[in-house]
Structure 1
Amino acid sequence: MDRFDALRAFARVVEAGSFTKAAQTLHLSKTTVTQLVQQLESRLRVRLLHRTTRRVAVTVEGAAYYQRVVRLLDDLDEADSSVSSALGSPKGRLRVDVPSPIARLLLMPALPAFHTRYPEIQIDMGVSDRRVDVIGDHVDCVLRGGEVSDLSLSARRVGELALGVYAAPAYLARAGHPDHPAELQDPRHHIVGYLLASSGTVATQAMQRGPERVDLQGRYVVAVDDGNAYLAAGLAGMGVLCLPTYMADAHERRGALHRLFADWQLAPMPVHAAWPQNRYLGARLRVFIDWVAELMARHAPLAAGGVSDQSAR
């Protein structure tokens, strides 16, 4: 039995709650992962996991052992990263998950420059607006819009997205041009709904003009949970959109979207990089987050001109 492989397999099963999911993240067969954990239990002469047909749960002894194993694996990973960094360049595999519009419009076009700078870092990038289980899916880092409230995560604010309200010419020709946000609640108007992953409810945005404050809301024909689909619905004339300006700029320049309520302000949307609180911020993850912060500074700079670290709360 390779003790390192067995420890890593055990840790992944605990984090994923499943031998199948752990095997997928380790690129091993389920049988191999099961055998590694069984061999580890035999060596320790203690049961680390309760197994049923539906789920895997950690025992009291397994939970205590897991805490030590995670620290050990993190120490080894950090040692490898430190040596790699000292020799010239961080190396290894990163699993990250990012919102689809940020991936398509910001990260992917700039990724060749990152690869040139760090040619030995391999990135596995999940692209969607869903909320991944960072620990259970063994993701190293996620980018998220809004505040991070998960107590198991640490986070760094890497940017703030300026927002605007837009509509397609076809929509405005059909429904009329609203002069005040409150007009969107009129029956002739519609918004495109954006479904929040955390609650499944449609997001609302507050708009302000001097002392006047109005929630941007209205009826919708369609609501979606993906940023690219949200934009596509607006371009198709399905309703009024509230978009980060980096998503809207090109469409506004070519006349496919018109800006509404230009004399009203919307609070910018913060963007955070978040990672499991009990894991070290290794060299390859650190340089990735720094690169994202540099990229966002060009497209979505922080209002104060800097970055901040936080323990998610």
Structure 2
Amino acid sequence: MGQSDEMAAFLRIVDRGGFSAAARGSALTASALSKLVQRLEARLGVRLLTRTTRRIALTPEGETYAARARDVLALIEAAETEVTAGRGRPRGHLRVNTSTAYARHRLIPILPAFFAAYPDVTVDLTVTDRRVDLVAEGVDVLLRTGVLDDPGLIARKVATGRRLICAAPSYLARRGMPVRPADLLNHDCIALHGQSRMTAWPFRDGEGISILSVRGPAATDSAEALQDMAIAGMGIIRVSEFMVRDAIAAGQLVTLLDAEHASEEVPIWAVTAPGRHRMPRVRAFVDFVAARAAA
């Protein structure tokens, strides 16, 4: 068995969560996979997995090896694809990560059409609003809005949007309507915690753009929970338009300070690690998302 085959087997164990699960549908037994990892650890001189009776977990060295193994296998696949271009359709497993709001309002509605167009591609979708290390967590495509700060990754802008400030009629009936940005300092403004930029709201004034630091009694790590808190009358939010468009149309939320709010363009990115962007299934997925977002 070559090194690339060992890497693939190791990643199958990691992705399936154990030797028995990895053995199902494989030419290797659970015992053979266990021995493969033992030989690999002996050759490298480090422990890659910690094993208990119920589960396995990556050690720090295992996390590094798994991330690099994914990159190596992606480069091999890309190289083979380039010399056999046009011979087949995109196929294989795709790991996608995005935020709760983008998943619910933009990505999930178009997935049936993607599967119809690419029946040989399967997707493992993880949804979270926390910051994700694309390489360490083995993600093929990361869909994210806002500013990107890792120049080592490959990013393609697939769409743009804007942000709105809004609140529920029930909140405004209780607390009053803010008529100028400074009024927000006396209101409950709620945002995603752990992201300081989400509490720095930009407004136009006579000299250009000024930043108002807002605050409130609550915060959350979920964009969907943020919208639900606003609809429940807990406070004022500033979020992407695509997320609250339906709630505004239904009268559950109303926009505030539209004239003063500096609603900057919000880019939506498809981010991949170097090498993986050439994989046919990755390229097909990103092209599909970009085309649907443009439409």
Q: TM class by shorter-chain length? A: 0.7 to 0.9
TM-superposed CA distance for 1:229, in Å, is 0.4
| Other-structure match for 1:228 | 224
TM-score (norm 1): 0.76
- The answer (yes or no) to whether the contact 1:93–1:122 under 8 Å persists in 2 is yes
- The answer (yes or no) to whether the contact 2:277–2:283 under 8 Å persists in 1 is no
| Secondary structure in structure 1 of the residue aligned to 2:112 | helix
TM-superposed CA distance for 1:135, in Å, is 1.6
CA deviation map 1:83-122 (0-9, x unaligned): 8862452111100101111111111111111112111111
> How large is the Cα RMSD of the aligned pairs?
3.3
Q: Would you say how many aligned residue pairs link Structure 1 and Structure 2?
A: 277
Is 1:100 paired with 2:93? no
The correspondence for 1:24, drawn from 17, 26, 41, is 17
TM-superposed CA distance for 1:232, in Å, is 0.4
| Secondary structure in structure 2 of the residue aligned to 1:207 | strand
- The answer (yes or no) to whether the contact 2:159–2:268 under 8 Å persists in 1 is yes
Counting only pairs closer than 5 Å after superposition, residues 258-297 of structure 1 correspond to structure 2 as 258-264=254-260, 265-297=262-294
Is 1:190 paired with 2:194? no
One-letter amino acid matched to 1:252: I
| Secondary structure in structure 2 of the residue aligned to 1:191 | coil
Structure 1 residues without counterparts, runs of 5 or longer: 14-19, 299-313
Change (3 A) 1:56 1:215: closer
Moved over 6 A (4+): none
CA distance, structure 1, for counterparts of residue 265 and residue 96 of structure 2: 24
Structure 2 residues without counterparts, runs of 5 or longer: 24-29, 51-57
Counting only pairs closer than 5 Å after superposition, residues 292-307 of structure 1 correspond to structure 2 as 292-298=289-295
Tell me whether 213-222 or 133-142 shows the greater mean CA deviation: 213-222
- The answer (yes or no) to whether the contact 2:248–2:254 under 8 Å persists in 1 is yes
| Other-structure match for 2:200 | 204
CA distance, structure 1, for counterparts of residue 206 and residue 278 of structure 2: 43
TM-score (norm 2): 0.80
| Other-structure match for 1:254 | 250
| Other-structure match for 1:57 | 61
Change (3 A) 1:277 1:205: farther
One-letter amino acid matched to 1:57: E
CA distance, structure 1, for counterparts of residue 154 and residue 14 of structure 2: 24
% identity of equivalent residues = 31
